[in-house]
Amino acid sequence: MVNQMELQQKANQLEQMKSHIESLEEQKNMVDEYLEEHNDAKETMKKYQEKEEGTEIMVPIGADSYVHSKITDNDQVLIGLGADLSAERKIEKAIEIIERKKDKIKENKEELEEQIEEMNENAQELEQELREEYQELQKQQQQAQGGGQVFQ
């Protein structure tokens, strides 16, 4: 026999699952943006390295704003190492660092995707269970109202 309170609890659980899935999707989107940022940095380093020393360039500073600059060393960049630390590295080494970071980011993305897939499967199962139990509850209520007769 289906209990209306249990049905409500399962509905609440389903809503929580959907909210959690939405949160995981947002995290995945942020990871995608972070990955794209690393790809952009890598490509910019490659293009920077191709420029001759003394070449004037426009350097983005944020908010669609740029400053004029001249390349004084086309083989070195400052790269973040983590924990708010940066170091000057040859571009080839910096690209290796970025590739390692990208690998970790991709691993995190895969884990998120697996969690999302699992949560979606669980939510679908719970949703199906809820539908079946709701239909059963409706039948019980019809039987109680109709004196035990069920019309189909």
Any domain includes 63: yes
- The DSSP letter of residue 51 is S
Contact assessment for residue 134 and residue 3, using Cβ atoms and an 8 Å cutoff: no
Any domain includes 2: no
Block residue for tokens 């590739």: 99
Domain that holds residue 108: 13-137
pLDDT digits (tens, 9 = 90+) for 48-101: 999 999 999 998 888 999 999 999 989 999 999 889 999 999 999 999 999 999
> Which of the four pLDDT bands, split at 50, 70 and 90, describes residue 152?
low
Q: Residue 115 is part of a domain; what is its CATH number?
A: 1.10.287.370
pLDDT digits (tens, 9 = 90+) for 18-44: 999 999 999 999 999 999 999 999 999
Q: Which residues of 56-90 are buried (b: 16+ CB within 10 A; e: fewer)?
A: eeeeeeeeeeeeeeeeeebeebebeeeeeeeeebe
**Total domains, the chain:** 1
